[in-house]
Amino acid sequence: MNTEITMATDRNTELCIAQTALPLPCFFPSVSSVKTNLMPVDYVEVLDAAAHPLFLASAYDMAQCTDHQRPRMDAALTRSKERGCVILMDSGNYEGFWKDDPGWLPDKFHEIASASEHHLCFCYDNQEPPGNPESVAKDVVASVLRDQKHALGTVAPIVHGDAALLPETARLTAEQLYPVLIAVPNER
């Protein structure tokens, strides 16, 4: 098996999402309830009011909105999407982990992904993946295909694992899904 990775010399200068060409690199401000002072709905409303062109919001935080906050969150997401903002949704596993919420499972994620505005969302990721690239890729592909059945937008993979396995895992995942992007969290 050849483990040598060759870097592309010609790279894309833009990423097309939701009929919008985003110049690369680009920055998606992340809205999260972890280690913040405001409620996530407040942050989304600020980004909407500022007409920020892109942001990432947590499905977990959307699910945790109170009955008063949920219409505000939905309205801000809808306004943002209507004016051309690109909205990414993450699985909420980060928030679920830090909030020690064992009830945050794929079915809860699916409820939000099927009802909340977004263009692209990241799959409900396995943060304790198997130990080899083939098994991790198989697990990631299965997660993306499962979650896509419930999402309003396109589901993108998240690849976790030992740093030495990530290039091969990402390649195997890309060969099966042809995703617009692959998320690789900085874990180490």
Please report whether residue 11 resides in a domain. no
> Rounded mean pLDDT of 2-9?
60
Residue 48 lies in a domain: yes
Number of compact structural domains in the chain: 2
Per DSSP, the three-state class of 58 is strand
Residue 15 has what pLDDT? 83
State the residue range of the domain holding 60. 24-122
| Inside any domain, residue 8 | no
pLDDT at 62: 97
- pLDDT at residue 187, as a whole number: 65
In one letter, which amino acid is 53?
P
Task: Print burial letters for 77-112: b (CB count within 10 Å at least 16), e (below 16).
Answer: bebbbeeebbbbbbbbbbbbeeeebeebeeebbbeb
129 and 174 fall within a common domain: yes
Q: Residue 36: what pLDDT?
A: 85
> Is the peptide bond prior to 130 cis by the omega test (within 30 degrees of 0)?
no
Tell me, what's the pLDDT at 179? Answer: 94
Do 114 and 150 form a contact (C-beta atoms < 8 A)? yes
Residues in contact with 142: Cβ distance below 8 Å, sequence separation at least 6, in sequence order: none
Q: What is the pLDDT of residues 37-94, one digit of tens each?
A: 899 999 999 999 999 999 999 999 999 999 999 999 999 999 999 999 999 999 999 9
Tell me: do 87 and 110 sit in the same domain: yes
In-domain check, residue 5? no
